[in-house]
Amino acid sequence: MSDKITGGTGTQELEAIPPAEAAREEQPGDLRLVRRQRERLGDQLYGQILQKIISGELKEGDKLPSEHRICQVFAVSRPTVREALMRLHADGLVTTRQGSGTFVRKRPSDKLAGLASVSDVAALLRCMEVRIALEGKAAALAAQRRTPDQMRRISSALAALRSSMENGTDPMQADFAFHRAVAEASGNTVFAELLDMLGAAIQGGMRIALGLTRAGSRERARRVVEEHETIAEAIERSDSEGADLAMRYHLNRARQRIVDGQRDT
C-alpha cells in the first residue's frame, strides 16, 4: 500500500506510513509546488501553503506536515522550507506548539488571491517590514522639518485619499502620494529616493491592502483614512514621536489587514 503525493518532480510513490507516524505526519490537502523562474523557492513554497489556507483546504487548527516531510514532497532543501515557515510565522499565519508541530493560526480573506499572485505576497510583506522602519523615521523627521508648502502637499494628498475612499475610486495613487509627501518633508532626499526605488513593491502592497479595504466594510475604509489623518496631524503639530508611532501603527495595521481576513471587517 502506498500514498501518492504530488511534489515538485511529479507524482511520487511513498511507502505506507505506520498509523502512529501518519498521525504525526498528517498532510491535509494536496500540496504541490510549481516552480517558476526568477521567483525565490521560499516565496513559491510560502505561496503554495498560503493558497491552501486561503482556499480552506488547510483550515485554522490544521497541522502542517513536518519540515522533513515537506522537503521530501517538494524536493527542496531544509533551509528553503524553514524560510517559508519562518515567513508564515512572521506574518501570523501559522503557529508552533512545542512538541506538537506547526498549525494554521489564521485565514486571510479569500479575496487576497484575486488581488495578487500568492507567491508575491511574501515579498510584498517583506517590503512592508522595511517600510515600517523607513517611513516611521521619515515621519518623525517630517514633524521636525516640514515646511508650510510640504505640509500643504501632505494635506492635499490626504484630501485626495479621503475623496477616493468616499467616492469608490481607486485610492492607490493618492495613498502613494501621501507617503511620498511625508518622505519629502523629512528634509532628507534619500527617504523619497528609497520610496521611488521600492515603488513597484510598495504600490503592489497598497493595491492588496486597499483592494481588501474597498471590498470590506465602510468602517474599515473609515479607519484607514483615520490612520492617515493621525499621521498628518502629528506632523502638523510638530510631534515627532507621535508621527513616528502613527506611521508605524498604520503600516502594521495595513500588514495585518492583508493576512487576517477578520481584521476590521
pLDDT in tens, 162-183: 999 988 888 999 999 999 999 9
Q: Which residue in 265, 251, 134 sits closest to 197, CA to CA?
A: 134
CATH number where 210 lies = 1.20.120.530
Same structural domain, 253 and 131: yes
Give the separation between CA 123 and CA 222, rounded to whole angstroms.
27
pLDDT in the model for residue 47: 86
User: What range defines the domain where residue 10 resides?
Assistant: 2-104
Same structural domain, 135 and 244: yes
As given in the structure block, the three cell numbers for residue 200 are 513597484
Residue 248 has pLDDT above 90, yes or no: yes
User: For 20-49, what is each residue's pLDDT tens digit?
Assistant: 333 334 444 455 555 555 567 888 888 888
Matching residue, cell 466594510: 217
Same structural domain, 158 and 246: yes
Same structural domain, 97 and 143: no
pLDDT in the model for residue 229: 98
pTM above 0.95? no
Domain end: 38, 69, 104, which one? 104
Using an 8 Å Cβ cutoff, are 165 and 173 in contact?
A: no
Same structural domain, 213 and 184: yes
Q: Which residue in 188, 168, 164 sits closest to 176, CA to CA?
A: 164
User: 118-145 and 189-197 helices cross at what angle (nearest 10)?
Assistant: 170
Tell me whether residue 128 is exposed, middle or buried, using C-beta atoms within 10 angstroms of its C-beta: 0 to 12, 13 to 18, 19 or more.
buried
Give the separation between CA 41 and CA 55, rounded to whole angstroms.
21
Domain end: 58, 74, 104, which one? 104
CATH number where 40 lies = 1.10.10.10
| 101 beta partners | 97
Same structural domain, 144 and 70: no
Q: Which residue in 58, 98, 72 sits closest to 15, CA to CA?
A: 72
- Dmax (CA) of the chain: 75
40: in domain: yes
User: Kind of pairing, strands 101-104 and 94-97?
Assistant: antiparallel
Same structural domain, 80 and 139: no
Domain count, the chain: 2
Query: Which residues lie closer than 8 Å to 127 by C-beta, 6 or more apart?
Result: 198, 201, 202, 204, 205
113: in domain: no
User: For 179-222, what is each residue's pLDDT tens digit?
Assistant: 999 999 999 999 999 999 999 989 888 888 888 887 666 788 89
Q: Which residue in 252, 243, 225 sits closest to 146, CA to CA?
A: 243
80: in domain: yes
